[in-house]
Amino acid sequence: MIELTLPDMTCGHCVKTVTGTVQKLDAAAQVQCDLATHTVRIETTQSPEAVKQALEEEGYPAR
């Protein structure tokens, strides 16, 4: 399980983009986003570094 804080994730469109980005890396990934806390929990076979890099490239750097 990877848990990240994405301060720039603020709306439904952001959630869709974050989910799609992760699922491009791993189509079977499970993504749970919480807009109120700007956190995302990801169940994936990909490394945390690969996920963080992909999200950063889409404009959602993790903190």
Per-residue pLDDT tens digits of the chain, which is 63 residues long:
999 999 999 999 999 999 999 999 999 999 999 999 999 999 999 999 999 999 999 999 998
Q: What is the pLDDT of residue 31?
A: 98
Say if pTM beats, i.e. exceeds, 0.85: yes
Q: What is the pLDDT of residue 24?
A: 96
* 51 neighbors 22 (Cβ within 8 angstroms): yes
17: exposed, middle or buried (Cβ count in 10 Å: 0-12, 13-18, 19+) = middle
Q: How far apart are CA 15 and CA 25, in angstroms?
A: 16
Q: What is the pLDDT of residue 63?
A: 86
CA 17, 52, 40, 11 torsion: positive or negative?
Answer: negative
Q: What is the pLDDT of residue 15?
A: 97
